[in-house]
Amino acid sequence: MKRDEPENLDLLAAEYVIGTLQGRARQSFERRQRRDPFVARRVNAWEERFAQLSLRLVPVAPSAGVWPAIERRIGAASPRRWFSLAAAAALITAFTFGWIVWQETRPPLATATLASEQGAELWRVELTARGDELEVATVGSVSVPGDRARELWALPEGAAPVSLGLMPASGEVRLALNDRQRAALAAAANVAVSDEPAGGSPTGAPTGAVLYVAKIART
């Protein structure tokens, strides 16, 4: 297998993450990760997968001295500085609020970017500031067979997926949300897109393959 083949890079990424890639190979892989976004994404993916093993460890309370030592190392802020920072923050907040009201546009409450396994972005989904609509924009080249559709789902934790609507093959759409969809989205960490017959899932649950999953970034 050639060194630069994606399969081999992905395996190196896994070995880097579990720590068995060592010495000079580790250092050169670190450099490569900094300049190659594909490699960086593969490393992220493995870190994400394996993090679950770390979360299974029983937590251990640190000694009382650790936090004060950290505070010393990052440099303690004086109360006076705190006051002026707080005042500045309040001013900025007031100004920003006024500006936003004046503009009558507010940033989205949440966003998610659906991308292919190779990392090519396909759709950007934004929950509008009012929280009652999704704006879905096609950002990459999406190809959907004529007799199939791509359906967006909220994946609420511990509950069944809830359909949010059909994804556009090009351009933008707005999907209005009902209360059930809003609640599902609020309880979800991820959204997914599944392959469905034209017109969407006939059953109310995903029937085809789950093609893409994206984390919801809340702002």
Partner 1 sequence: MAAETARADDSEVAGLLAACARQDRPAFQRLYERTAPQLLACLLRILRNRATAEDALQDVFVQVWGRAGQFDSARGSAWAWLIAIARYRAIDLRRREGRVVAEPFADVDQIPGEDESQDALAALGKRASKALAMCLAALQPRQRECIVLAYQGGLSQSEVAGELGEPLGSVKSWIRRGLTALKRCLES
Binding site for partner 1 (CB under 8 A): 10-11, 14-15, 17-20, 22, 41, 44-45, 47-63, 65-67, 69-70, 73-74, 77, 111-113, 117, 155, 157-158, 189-190, 214-215, 217-218
Nearest distance from C-beta of residue 189 to partner 1, angstroms: 5
Coil vs helix vs strand at 167 = coil
HEC profile of 179-196: HHHHHHHHCEEEEEEEEE
Residue whose CB is less far from partner 1, 51 or 169 = 51
Nearest distance from C-beta of residue 74 to partner 1, angstroms: 5
Any idea what DSSP says for residue 58?
Answer: P
CA distances, 155 to each of 68, 135, 167, 193 (Å):
40, 18, 16, 10
Nearest distance from C-beta of residue 79 to partner 1, angstroms: 12
Residue whose CB is less far from partner 1, 63 or 143 = 63
Block residue for tokens 């990392």: 119
Nearest distance from C-beta of residue 54 to partner 1, angstroms: 5
Residue whose CB is less far from partner 1, 119 or 204 = 119
Residue whose CB is less far from partner 1, 53 or 176 = 53
Residue 169 CA to residue 45 CA, distance in Å, equals: 27
Block residue for tokens 């500045």: 88
